[in-house]
Every structure is written in structure tokens, then in C-alpha cells.
A and B are shown apart, each in its own frame.
Chain A
Amino acid sequence: MQIAMVIDLNKCIGCQTCTMACKTQWTLEKGREYMYWNNVETMPGKGYPKGYMDMNTGFNENKEVVLGPLPSLVDYGKPWEFNYGGFIEGKNKVIGPEEVPLWGPNWDEEVGEGDYPNNFYFYLPRLCNHCTDPACLAACSRKAIYKRKEDGIVLVDLEKCRGYRDCVEACPYKKVYFNTYLKKVEKCIMCFPRLEKGIPSACARQCVGRARWQSYLEDKEGPVHKLVKVWKVALPLMPEKGTSPNVFYIPPFSPPAFDRDGRPTDKPRIPVSYLKRLFGDDVENALNILKEEINKKSNGKPSGLMDILIAYRHKDMFKI
């Protein structure tokens, strides 16, 4: 069995509630301050850590794990401490970070690409993909990384981990992090202690955009199976990395671009070629299916797909 998630990029509003829900659940502790097991980045953008998409790791065509550069703390974004105490005591004149900010995990938020008025951007929430073929696991010489049989969650055994960080280098999504205090690696655990109690993962349950569905990929009654396998509208990020992710994305629409005179055209602002780079060639088909089903629903005809995506009942978004 594989626990899996679908994230709808049309419903994600970039609010970072998932990021904060994850932060308070798992990464407030010492050594984890810079970590966002769940983060939301603006695309097009450099991402978190900076430039991870260009590091070209994962599996190569020979099914070998490719190790890449190890991102620096600056690439992730230093978790600036703030000088509150000093300010109240009159030592500082301004409340702010204790060091000069140079980069952060969401530094290029809503910058996007394209000239006004044809600028475009969207949000990409990311967590560990709990891949079917995890590159992190393949890269670990300590055999400290496990993929659980019962739910497919990829976990690092903290007793076995020695902090070599080959896994950090191998993961094409850079979703394994080095704990600077424990000197071991840690990553998203898909909130397994919550799942064991029947509570969906924090990022999913707390998503106020109602953009996340969570269920077992094999469970035909579950929303994830329906969206991924039946409707084929949810796609993995960077499928060419060969890890078979289990987090899937509904690709984003965008309002029309304008011509030189300021008239709306029939072209979306986000070029389909750009979406293909992120989600592979299947994205075109997915967008077409979505369009067709929206049309059906607009004309008063039933659409099972739209009913799932509208999500009439929050509870129905999860089957765990």
C-alpha cells in the first residue's frame, strides 16, 4: 500500500498555512529551524533550496543514482533570529533579523516571469514525494532509509544514520535535510503518527484552500486513485528523475495573456511548454480533460471529476 497525495495548483492560494502547520508539528526544534518539510514556492522561481531543479540528480538512464551538489545553508535560506530582546532593552534601534538577509526559502515569492501585464506565476507546494523508487534510499550506504511496506512512507532511521548526506545529494527534490544539531538527516514522515490515529497529515488537513487529497494510491474508492489513475489529471513533478513520486499535482490554468493593444488573447499566461518542463508531456492531456469537465459542469451536466475537485465535504478529501 502506498499513501499518496494530490495537490491542486488551481486551488492552492499560496497562503503557507501548510508550511506553518508542518513547522509547528515537526520542525521548531533546534537543528531543524531552516527545514520546511513542507514548503510552498513560487514558480517560475529558484525554489527551495535555491536552484534545486537544475541540480540534475535522481536516477540516470542506467538506473544509477546520481549524486549532486550539497546545498549550503544560504541556498536554503538562513533561519534568521530576530533581535526582539535587544530592541526592548534599547540595544537595537530596529526590530529585524540579526544578520543581513541574502536569500530565503520564499525569497522570489510572486516574482514570476514575463513583462507587465503578461507576468505569470503560480504556487508549488512541496513535500517529500515518498517515491516508489526513492533516490535517497538508493544512495544511503548505511541502509538507514526505509520504505515502509504498510504505507510506503519513506523514513530515516535516526539510530543508523551517520549524517553522510548522500541522500541529500541524491534526492532530485531536495527533500531530505541535514539536522545541524543531531548531525543526522531528517525528512517529511508524512505525519505517520497522525495517520496511525486516523488524522490526515497536517499539511493536508489544515490546507484552507482545500487543495489536498490524501488516500492510498491502490484504494479505488479513494480520491487520489480517482484523480491519478482514473481521471489522469494529477501528475508527478519532474517524472524524468525516475523516482516515481507519490505526490501528484493538478496543473494550473491562468487568465489570458494580452496582445499589444491590451486585448485579451486566447493564450494562457502560463505557456504549456513551461508546464511540460515541470510535469512532463502528459500535462497537455490533463489540462484538456480538466477543460472539458469544467465545460460539462458549466452547462449543468454532471462531472464526477469536478465534484471531486470542488470537494463538497472537507472530510471526503481524505481516506486513510
Chain B
Amino acid sequence: MAKRSGKKINRRTFLKTTGGIIASTALFGLPFEAKGTVPKGREKSIPDEVGQKTLDLYSSLFEYSRGRTTGFSPHCINCKGNCAWQTFENEGRIVREEQVAGYPQISPHIPDANPRGCNKGAIHSQSLYEKDRLLYPMKRIGERGSSKWKRISWDDAFTEIAERIVEKLSRGDFAKIMVYPGTGILSPLKRAAGLRFGSLIGAVRYNIASPLGDMFPGATIAYGNSLIGTTSEAWYEADYLMIIGVNPMVARIPDAHYINEGKYKGNRVVTISPEYNPTARASTLWIPINVGTDSLFTASMNHVILKEKLYNEEFIKEQTDLPFLVKVKDRKLLRGSDILPWGRPDIFYLYDLASSMPVEAPGTAGSDIKSIRLGRIRPALKGRWTVKTATGEEIEVTTAFEILRKELKKFSPEETQKFTGIHPDIVYEEARHFAKAEKAIIVEGYRTHKYFWGILAMWGQALMLALTGHGGRTGALDFDNEWNLGDLGPLSSPLPPRFGSGFLGDWFDMDYKEGFLRHYDENEFKETTGFSKNEIIRLAETAVKENGFDYFGKPEIVILVGDNKFPRSSAQKMSQNAFFKTVELLVTLDFRMSSSGHYADFLLPTTTAYEGWDLRMDPGYCRFANLMSPPEGLKLPGEIKSEWEIFEGLSKKINEVSKKKGISSLEDKTFKDPKNPSLPLKRKLHTLYEDFITLEEDTTALTDRDLFGWLYRRIPPVRHQSVETTLKQGFVTLNSEAGQTSPLYPDKPFYPNEPQVYLKRPYMTLSGRQQFYIDHDIYIRLGCHVPVGKKSVRPSKFPLAFFDAHTRYAIHTTWRTMKYHQRLQRGIPYVCINPVTAEKRNIKDGDIIRVFNDIGEFKCMAKITGKIPPHSIWTEHGWEDIQFEGGKGYNNVLAPVLTPLELVGRYGHLTFSVFWDGNRIMGESSVEIEKVG
């Protein structure tokens, strides 16, 4: 071992001690030809030892990077990772980070979860001290978006914002204020600040997943729950893994190893995607599919499963609504209200082969029996019968299963190949593999529902699993398991908030219909969707007026917390202009300059995940809660504050301003006073500060540190471990209470729906089962009463499909502009183009091109690769608008559209809630490209 001295050198003195000469320019030679060889034998005189000074230099650099004090962080931005990192502080700054890599192995047969992390997490420390870090409150003094800012004090910022808020509130305009904690922050405490403040003043908040297109209504139809999934350990267990709508090698970096390790034990991994993406590359089989045709592929899989009788009858009879009776004439389900004059509409029937008569299905929403256990009932899957209705009429009924079989006959692999491009042999082969798998998991992601018929694709995937009897511990649809956080409701919603539909909120606030009307051709749209454009627009209005989707009107004051609104909006420039028609004050809280910050009136600088306190548990991809705690010696740069302190400060100022104006409490007639329901709710501006900081009697929180201590005691899944231990090791292994849809066992991967499969508890659906029959008029009209497949609705007026997917170099827009990540790409935004597509247009790699259609355009670099199909172009998502010329981002060409299937409400479990909201659909846009200049 080399000798080492105790001398320390830090990064700053490093350059001095090595006696560096000031370099003026780069000292590289120009490339030149080989200049010959070195005499033989020179290498024989190998010296014994390296000079001590060199050894000391590197050793000191290493020691410096290990810090004087250390902290922990899970990087709480909108990443589904959640990993335990240790942070190292020196001279008051975070100098480096490294994974804790200390998670215990759950079973000797399953690889452990270490060292969870990714490339972004590995260099976040550098973004803390980059020049785009926001350090002081700033006020816009020039035109909106002109980058003319004035540094102001916190007190001035709070005063100006508070005065505007009080002015609105005093007029009773609660709904004109929106406080929007977006997906840029996903740890509970950092999120809670904005939510709590908004709830106290009665501001609007939206479902955050829906405006992004991140809802899973296809799964909600089937399960009544859109938070279904396994832990990623299960990927290793499953001998059949189908990956669709997600690219885990890029978007699930910490979990991806389970896929590759599973392949070494013989798992079949099949990836379906249009582009030969990094997950396709790592699969047993890649199935290339035409953009936007996923529902047709799924329908063809189900076609083969039914045709070749690869299905599991017992599972179908018990766990699904497919044996339910349906009236042949109008394809409506036979309901209690059909049979008896006083019958309930949420009672349904099976045809019992044991008694040769229709019997009430147990466990439905209207049933007195709270179990789906069939007991002596032997439900028929096939047949036709006559039943007598309440009016004495004899009507013909059949089963939902029969209708499904009939509908899916249309989707033979030979037929769907015309649209999907997938050879029939592949579908037959995969359906057989899938059906016979011991454990089959379909890994879904956030892309599928960004297409018009994505809802059908996912519903069809649930059907694939149900038909083949994969449920409980033998298989699952895996997309978004979330753990039980305990009851944090009183923290984030001490008073009733105005909770609005996300996709409809953006649709109206940003006049999305303009882009929709412009991009889609009336006849073509009607032919592919069965609806006229005006019908869609009316359906959106009806959804709000009659179908229970909440919308509160256009906002005038907007506070964005961890939300980068504009780069994620369809028809970006059009919608941005529409937004600012009513919005008079935009406040952005962020740690760095983002596109939405660029257009704000006030910029309020926040701490990042290295500088605050929190405990992150979600999402449930891994079974660990990870700690956020800053190193003791950390000095915060500039005047940054935690989200909690910012809203605390704002609350205090609102107190002061309202007192000055003589305003105490305001009546909010939309809600009732919880203590006296005959009275309207009172929003107490004069005690806002006390109400904000008082968590419960005798407990107040002035800082996020205070809040952390309170939170830790309230989360049952972490309570078994002392806070001291957690502070020392940086994470907690969750206990069994963490599971919401199943128990979380300490030694086995997590699978959802075990109580339903093994204990026969009803699902959260109208039928109490996995539901594959929806008799809503719109579904029947579209022929979508069962999960079928539909053609893409992409307009033909421009030749190329444009689709995007997550990047490994950013989490959405976070870190997108970071130079360390950009240096490993092309420095500026780019799109990938197939060589044939490019050649036709005389475009070469590295050229600047214009991507355009009838709603917008953007400019970027061309990257030419055969991994992209010729019928489309592709880009990584999450580019900031401020990375493009004219602030015109790639969303400029993505047209908004709504699918009628997601506008249905007040139908059993298809009722507006956190599980049922629609999506921002933008995958159905067409473009053309051309070389610039």
C-alpha cells in the first residue's frame, strides 16, 4: 500500500498546490498521422513507486469529497425512483453525493435493491451552485418573458402577493386563485406547504396526473383503482414480462436491473414499442408496432386467447363480470331495476347452471353480500336465455363473455397486422407464452394513455391477465403502486379545497379546443372516432355541467410550486397566450430558472432536496422510505427558503394585510362549516398564520424540520423504526402496513389485489369484479362496451407521426438544462429521424430542422438513426421551452384532443375522483419536417 501523508488539499487549493501554470488556450495538437514507434525495451525500467505528492493529491481530493458533515436525500422531484443518497458537505456546500446502498435483501432468491440511484441523482450537487439557481426573490420589471428582473426582499414579495390575494378573497373570488403544487415535488412535506395554504384560503387545485396525461383510466375501468402495481422485485420473479408504453431502461433506471437479472434466470421479456429503444434492446423479443395502435395489438392478443381457448374459466367466472347477463336487444346489462319494480340498478345477474335460472351476483355495488365468493352458484359463461322483466316483458339475455367473444372475433392477428404492422405469427406465439406463464406481469407506463385509444389498450391488457387467470401472486398489471402514507389529509387539506379535474381544467383554462379544432379534419375525425369535433367540445362542457367533473372557472392568480406549466402544455404558444388572457399574477416557486419561471411575475427561490427535511415513501416501486435531511454544516445559498417557510411567510403577511383592511373571516358558500353544516364555511384570514402553523393542538411547525418530526410519528409503515436510526441510516424498510391493495410481506415481492383473489373481497368497481363490460351509452355507441381495438386518429394531412418518450438525462424538465447532462447529448434539443425519411428531405445528421404543422412549429437538431420507424419522428421529452428559438418548444406541434371514453361520469366507479379523471392526449398529432437554411 502506498504511503500517505495527512496533508489535505481541497478542490480550491488543488490548483495552487500542483503548481499549475495559467493556461490560456486549449493545448491540444491538431490530429496528425501516426509518427512512428518508441524503441523496444523502454518499458522494462518500471520505477518502483509513484511520488508521494501525486498520491496525496488524489487522496486529499477524495477526502474532501467525503465531506465534513453528511446528510441524506431521496431527490424528491417528479421521478418514480425514490433512492437513498448520502450527501457530503464541505465548507458549507454539498460537494458530492453517493448512494447509501444499504438496503437489506428481502430473500436469498431475489437480488437486493442496491444501489438504487441514477445519473441525475449522481450529480445533483452541481445544480445547487449553477448560475441558473434562484437565490433571491425577484420581481418582473419588463415585459412578461423579457428576463428583466429586480431583486426584492422577502417582505416586499410577500406584501405584494398578499395584497393581491386579499383583494380577490375579499370579493369572495376564492376560485380565481389557484395554488398548484405540481409534480415537480413529490415528497409529502414539501408538497404539503402549498396544498395546506391553498386549502385554508379556498384556492383551486387540480388533479396533478391528469393534465399531464398520467392517469390510468383504462385500469380504473377494470379495477376501480388506478394505483395498481407490483414492487419492481416482482419483475425478477415473473417468468413472462410484457413491457409496453414504458421504457424502464431509461425511465425506471433504479429498477431496471431486475429485468436483466430475470433474463439470466430464463424470464421471457417482450417489449412492444415503435422505436428500438433501450428496453427493446435488452429484451428477449422486441415487437415493433406502429405509433398509436396499441389497443389493436391488445385486442389481437385477446382474440387468440379466446380462439385457442387459452383462458382460465374458473378465474373468469369468479373474478370478472364476464358471466354477467346482458340484454341482447340493447346490449345493456341486466340490472335489478329491470327485474323488479323496486330493484336497484347496481344489482346484476349471473345465469346459474346449478339452479338453471338467473341469480343475483354477490358482491356488486348494490349487493348486500360483501363478497364475490360464488358459493353454490355455477355461473354460465355462454348461452342465451329468456327472462321476465318487471313490466312482464320476456327479453332475451346472454353473457358479457359471449358479447366479448363476438366483438373480439373482428381482431384476428391477420386483420390487426394491417394497422399495427405486427406479423400474426408473433401474436399467436406470444399469446401462448403469456397464457402458460406461471407469473405474468404487464409493465405499463405513462405513454399509452397519451393516445386517443390508450384507455382501450390498458383495459385490454387487464383483460389479457384476467382471461389467462393471472391475478394475485400469479400476475399483475404493473404501473403505479402507491404505499399507504397514513392520514395526511389534515396536513394538506385542513379545510375543504377546490379540487378540480386536471385535463378539463387545462382544456378550458388554456383554450385547448382551438388547437383541437385546427389540427383535426372533421370528416376524418368522425370516421376514426365516431364523434364530430363539436360533439367532443360539447361532451367536455357536459362533463363539467352534468357528469360531475369539477371545474371552477379560469384562474386570475396562479401560484406554481414545482410545476412547469408551459413546457407540458399542448399547442404550447397558443395555450400559453390563452392562459395569460385571464391570469394577471403568476408566482413561481422553484430552485432554478425554468420556462414557467421565465414568464412569472414573481420568482420565489426554494430549497432543493439536499437542503430540506422530508421522508419520501411514494411511489411503491421499492419498499423503502428514504430520508431527506441536510448535512449539519450546510449553509444555504442566497436567501432561499423551504416551501413551508414561504407559505408560512405569505400566511403571516395575509394576516397583516387583512387586519389592516379590517377583514377578518369570509364566507365561502360553496362549502358548509364542518362544525355547523347549516352555516357556510368561514375562511379566516385574520388567523391564517396560526392556522397554517398549528398542526394539531399543542403542535406547531415553523420549519420543515419541525414538520418532519411530527410527520414521522404519523406514518404507520415507518413507526417500527426509531427516528434516530432513520437519521443515521437514511432510510426505513416499510412494514406490512404500507400495502394498500395487498399486504406487503417482508420476504416477498408485492402484488396487488390479493384480498380480492384469495379472500374474495369485492373490487372497487360497480360489478365488484374486474370489469370488462361497460354499458354506458357512449361506450355502446362506439362499440367499446368491451375492450376492443381502434385505429389511430392521427390526421393524414401531415405525413409523419410525432411521438416522444422520457429521457435518461432529466426528470421531465428538471435537470434538462444542466450542462453535465447536455454534454452527453447534443447540447441543444434534437429529434430522431429514420435515414430514409431524412434522405427524402435532404436532411443530414446535425442539420437544424423545422418541425411544423398547422398549430405550431419548433426548430431543433436532426439526429439520424435506424432505430426510429420511417413513418414517424421521435424526441426525448421534457425539453424546456427556453432551450428553443423563440421560446417555441416541441409541444407547439402537439395538438390537444379528448376521448369521449374519458368524459363519462357518474357511472358507478367511473365517477370523478382521484382514480377517474381524463388525460391530456397529444400523441395523435402529425407533422412535417424540413431543413432550415
Q: Which residues of A contact B (CB under 8 A)?
A: 10-11, 13-17, 19-21, 23-26, 28-31, 55-57, 60, 62-73, 75, 77, 79-82, 84-85, 87-90, 93-97, 101-102, 104-107, 109-122, 133-134, 137-139, 141, 143, 146-150, 155-160, 163, 165-166, 169-170, 178, 180-183, 189, 191-194, 196, 202, 205-210, 254-256, 258, 261-264, 294-295, 297-299, 306, 309-315
Chain B nearest CB, measured from A145 CB (Å): 9
Stretch with Cβ within 8 A of A (4 or more), from B21-29, B442-450, B562-570: B21-29
C-alpha gap A158/B264 in the complex (Å): 44
C-alpha gap A67/B836 in the complex (Å): 40
Closest 5 CB pairs of A and B: A298-B266, A90-B147, A101-B827, A138-B43, A314-B114
- The answer to whether A116 and B867 touch (CB under 8 A), given A90-B148, A312-B108, is yes
A109 adjacent to B868 (CB under 8 Å)? no
Out of A57, A101, A137, which one reaches B828, CB within 8 Å? A101
Chain B nearest CB, measured from A148 CB (Å): 7
C-alpha gap A13/B263 in the complex (Å): 14
- The answer to whether A310 and B882 touch (CB under 8 A), given A13-B256, A88-B131, A264-B285, is no
Chain B, residue nearest A308 (CB)? B264
Residues of B within 8 A of A71 (CB): 28, 31
B354 at the interface (CB under 8 A from A): no
A208 adjacent to B116 (CB under 8 Å)? yes
B825 at the interface (CB under 8 A from A): yes
Q: Which chain B residues numbered 249 to 269 have a C-beta less than 8 Å away from chain A?
A: 249-250, 253-254, 256-257, 260-261, 263-266
Residues of B within 8 A of A23 (CB): 123, 820
Q: Which chain B residues numbered 90 to 120 have a C-beta less than 8 Å away from chain A?
A: 96-99, 101, 105, 108-112, 114-120
A155 adjacent to B817 (CB under 8 Å)? no
Residues of B within 8 A of A210 (CB): 111, 114-115, 257, 261
A13 adjacent to B249 (CB under 8 Å)? yes
Residues of B within 8 A of A298 (CB): 265-266
Q: List 18 A-B contacts (CB under 8 A).
A: A10-B263, A13-B250, A17-B117, A29-B11, A64-B37, A73-B28, A88-B147, A101-B861, A116-B867, A146-B49, A158-B54, A183-B27, A194-B62, A196-B1, A205-B115, A208-B99, A254-B281, A315-B114
C-alpha gap A310/B31 in the complex (Å): 43
A19 adjacent to B20 (CB under 8 Å)? no
C-alpha gap A105/B181 in the complex (Å): 37
B side interface size, CB within 8 A: 135
Q: Which chain B residues numbered 564 to 616 have a C-beta less than 8 Å away from chain A?
A: 593
B28 adjacent to A264 (CB under 8 Å)? no
Residues of B within 8 A of A118 (CB): 866
- The answer to whether A192 and B37 touch (CB under 8 A), given A95-B132, A264-B285, is no
Out of A121, A141, A314, which one reaches B115, CB within 8 Å? A314
Chain B, residue nearest A79 (CB)? B823
Residues of A within 8 A of B461 (CB): none
Residues of A within 8 A of B822 (CB): 80, 82, 97
C-alpha gap A140/B14 in the complex (Å): 25
B65 at the interface (CB under 8 A from A): yes
Q: Which chain B residues numbered 831 to 881 have a C-beta less than 8 Å away from chain A?
A: 834-836, 846, 861, 863-870, 880
Residues of A within 8 A of B39 (CB): 64
C-alpha gap A191/B62 in the complex (Å): 9
Out of B34, B55, B286, which one reaches A57, CB within 8 Å? B34
A209 adjacent to B63 (CB under 8 Å)? no
Chain B nearest CB, measured from A219 CB (Å): 16
A14 adjacent to B278 (CB under 8 Å)? yes
Q: Which chain B residues numbered 32 to 75 have a C-beta less than 8 Å away from chain A?
A: 32-40, 42-43, 45-51, 53-55, 57-59, 61-63, 65
B266 adjacent to A84 (CB under 8 Å)? no
Chain A nearest CB, measured from B334 CB (Å): 44
B161 at the interface (CB under 8 A from A): no
A150 adjacent to B101 (CB under 8 Å)? no
Residues of B within 8 A of A155 (CB): 50, 54
C-alpha gap A207/B55 in the complex (Å): 25
Chain A nearest CB, measured from B886 CB (Å): 8
Residues of A within 8 A of B284 (CB): 255
Residues of B within 8 A of A111 (CB): 863-867
Out of A24, A28, A67, A264, which one reaches B122, CB within 8 Å? A24
Out of B26, B33, B112, B123, which one reaches A24, CB within 8 Å? B123
Stretch with Cβ within 8 A of A (4 or more), from B419-427, B547-555, B637-645, B767-775: B419-427
A113 adjacent to B116 (CB under 8 Å)? no
C-alpha gap A88/B54 in the complex (Å): 40
A67 adjacent to B426 (CB under 8 Å)? no
Residues of B within 8 A of A180 (CB): 23, 26-28
Q: Which chain B residues numbered 795 to 839 have a C-beta less than 8 Å away from chain A?
A: 808-809, 817, 819-820, 822-828, 834-836
A105 adjacent to B122 (CB under 8 Å)? no
Chain A nearest CB, measured from B505 CB (Å): 29
1/0 per residue, CB under 8 A from A, across B115-136: the answer is 1111111110110001110000
B34 adjacent to A69 (CB under 8 Å)? yes
Chain A nearest CB, measured from B203 CB (Å): 29
Residues of B within 8 A of A81 (CB): 819
C-alpha gap A294/B865 in the complex (Å): 32
Chain A nearest CB, measured from B99 CB (Å): 6
Chain A, residue nearest B98 (CB)? A206
A23-B820, A85-B131, A104-B825 provided; 17 other pairs, C-beta below 8 A? Answer: A15-B249, A24-B96, A72-B31, A79-B819, A80-B822, A84-B132, A88-B132, A97-B827, A111-B864, A117-B869, A122-B281, A147-B46, A158-B51, A180-B23, A208-B256, A263-B423, A263-B425
Chain B nearest CB, measured from A41 CB (Å): 10
Out of B117, B130, B278, which one reaches A206, CB within 8 Å? B117
Chain B nearest CB, measured from A241 CB (Å): 14
Residues of B within 8 A of A113 (CB): 866
Chain B nearest CB, measured from A185 CB (Å): 11
Chain B nearest CB, measured from A235 CB (Å): 18
Q: Which chain B residues numbered 236 to 294 have a C-beta less than 8 Å away from chain A?
A: 249-250, 253-254, 256-257, 260-261, 263-266, 276, 278, 280-286, 288
Out of B31, B99, B111, B118, which one reaches A311, CB within 8 Å? B111
C-alpha gap A117/B121 in the complex (Å): 33
Chain B nearest CB, measured from A127 CB (Å): 15
A206 adjacent to B122 (CB under 8 Å)? yes
A17 adjacent to B122 (CB under 8 Å)? yes
B826 adjacent to A159 (CB under 8 Å)? no
Residues of A within 8 A of B38 (CB): 64-65, 67, 138-139, 141, 166, 170
B866 adjacent to A116 (CB under 8 Å)? yes
Residues of A within 8 A of B47 (CB): 143, 146
Chain A, residue nearest B848 (CB)? A100
B62 adjacent to A25 (CB under 8 Å)? yes
B142 at the interface (CB under 8 A from A): yes
- The answer to whether A64 and B285 touch (CB under 8 A), given A95-B817, A193-B62, is no
Chain B nearest CB, measured from A56 CB (Å): 7
B867 adjacent to A261 (CB under 8 Å)? no
Residues of B within 8 A of A169 (CB): 35
A104 adjacent to B826 (CB under 8 Å)? yes
Out of A106, A119, A141, which one reaches B276, CB within 8 Å? A119
B281 adjacent to A297 (CB under 8 Å)? no
Residues of A within 8 A of B117 (CB): 17, 206, 208
C-alpha gap A165/B130 in the complex (Å): 33
A60 adjacent to B422 (CB under 8 Å)? no
B146 at the interface (CB under 8 A from A): yes
B671 at the interface (CB under 8 A from A): no
Interface centre among A11, A94, A208 (most CB of B within 10 A): A208
C-alpha gap A205/B86 in the complex (Å): 14
Residues of B within 8 A of A89 (CB): 147
B15 at the interface (CB under 8 A from A): yes
B884 at the interface (CB under 8 A from A): yes
Residues of B within 8 A of A137 (CB): 43, 46
1/0 per residue, CB under 8 A from A, across B464-499: the answer is 000000000000000000000000000000000000
Out of A75, A116, A189, which one reaches B834, CB within 8 Å? A116
B149 at the interface (CB under 8 A from A): yes
